[in-house]
Amino acid sequence: MARFRIGVVGGTGYTGAELLRLLSVHPSVELGAITSRSEAGRAVADLFPNLRGKLDLSFSRPDEARLHACDLVFFATPNGTAMKQVPELLAAGVRVIDLAADFRIKDLDLWERWYGMTHACPQLVAEAVYGLPELNREAIRSARLVANPGCYVTAATLGFLPLLKNRLVAAESLIADCKSGVSGAGRGASVAMLMGEVGESFKAYGVAGHRHLPEIVQNLQLATGQEVGLTFVPHLLPMIRGIHATLYARMTADSDVQHLFEDYYADEPFVDVMPAGSHPETRSVRGSNECRIALHRPQGGDTLVVLAVIDNLVKGAAGQAVQNMNLMLGLDERSGLDVPALLP
């Protein structure tokens, strides 16, 4: 079996740790470089003991030669990092998947407003393929550069997409009420993320505006050709992993939405449309690359409620990135990902 040499830039955060967990047992992957300026020289398994016996590598400083020797490089870095290094890697023939937001939004002025910085390589934004396989599978296969989607964005896009593609709901009045575990905020030290601050508590944040809002809107508008009006409110849950998206849309045409969703996602390996009336739980996708969806029409009215759950670190980040890698390298899309969720 062919093995591909893979590099990971920025392997010390939660997303990086999840990416290494998945890649360390992938049958077609040989990890060639895992970079971290702060942890250079330290054994990866010392920082992430779950990888002991699975990964015998140390973190290294970003080394152009080692990264240029890779077939594909992941960036699990903060926003604004990948865009400074990607042009040189692409010129060396290395394919790239960025797990941050540097290449997700096509409108550069919009991106710079939301992310508060000037884009370092605007010439590559148009080329970058948005890495939601359920939306762009064929383009991902041939891409040099893939922009991995945001976690909230993945759940909301998959939940709304069949409805908008079939023009069954009022596109101007969508609501996404989404909740995430604290790992979505990253691994950096923060008083606001201490257990004593988030435990036994629940709150909304970013109501005035969240960076994933323009990304969701872009996805839905590009996929359907409709102008979209979206109210997006994220919340912080006192748990480590998981996203629960409760999505609301007003029906404008009658349809058997259960069968519509079942047909729409029938061939998707990582989208599970549950039986009518189900209530998907975040624990049912913990550690897996699944998105589980259920549909409700309360009291038979014209409001459709879509429930979508994912693991924010897997289908919302690292797992989806591996799914994209599989497509880019001509591998089975499920390779390294076809495992059940963790229970309890």
- Residue 19 carries which side chain, given as an amino acid letter? L
pLDDT value, residue 184: 86
The rounded percent of the chain whose pLDDT value lies above 90 is 91
Q: Is the pLDDT of residue 74 over 70?
A: yes
Do the strands 243-250 and 203-204 form a parallel or antiparallel pair, or are they unpaired?
Answer: unpaired
pLDDT value, residue 1: 62
Question: Catalytic: which of 70, 121, 151, 291?
Answer: 151
Confidence of residue 197 (pLDDT cuts 50, 70, 90): confident
- Residue 222 carries which side chain, given as an amino acid letter? L
**What DSSP designation does 275 have?**
P
pLDDT value, residue 192: 76
pLDDT digits over 11-52, tens only?
899 999 999 999 999 999 999 999 998 899 999 999 999 999
Q: How many other CB atoms sit within 10 Å of the CB of residue 37?
A: 11
Query: Catalytic site residue 151?
Result: yes
Over residues 147-171, the mean pLDDT reads 98
CA 269 to chain centre: 16
Closest by CA to 104, choosing from 151, 149, 142, is: 149
Q: Could you give phi then psi for residue 142, rounded to 5 degrees?
A: -105, 5
Residues 6+ positions from 256 with CB-CB distance below 8 Å: none
CA dihedral sign of residues 332, 131, 226, 273: positive
Helical (H) or strand (E) element with 260:
helix 257-264
The overall average pLDDT reported for the chain is: 95
Low-confidence winner among 25-34, 60-69, 201-210, 304-313 (lowest mean pLDDT): 60-69
- Residue 129 carries which side chain, given as an amino acid letter? V
pTM: 0.96
Structure tokens at 340: 């059940």
Q: How far is CA 243 from CA 32, 174, 219, 282, 284, in A?
A: 32, 18, 19, 7, 11
User: First and final CA of the chain: distance in angstroms?
Assistant: 35
299: left (phi over 0), alpha (psi -120 to 50) or beta: left
pLDDT value, residue 62: 84
pLDDT digits over 216-225, tens only?
999 999 999 9
CA distance 155 to 234: 12
Beta strands (DSSP E) in the chain are: 4-9, 29-35, 72-75, 95-98, 129-130, 145-147, 174-180, 203-204, 230-236, 243-250, 271-273, 291-296, 303-310
Q: Could you give phi then psi for residue 321, rounded to 5 degrees?
A: -65, -40
Could you give the domains of the chain? 4-127 (3.40.50.720), 152-312 (3.30.360.10)
Structure tokens at 109: 């002025």
CA distance 289 to 69: 29
pLDDT value, residue 64: 80
Contact 149, 215 (CB under 8 A): yes
Output the CA torsion 32→38→39→41 (10° steps). Answer: 80
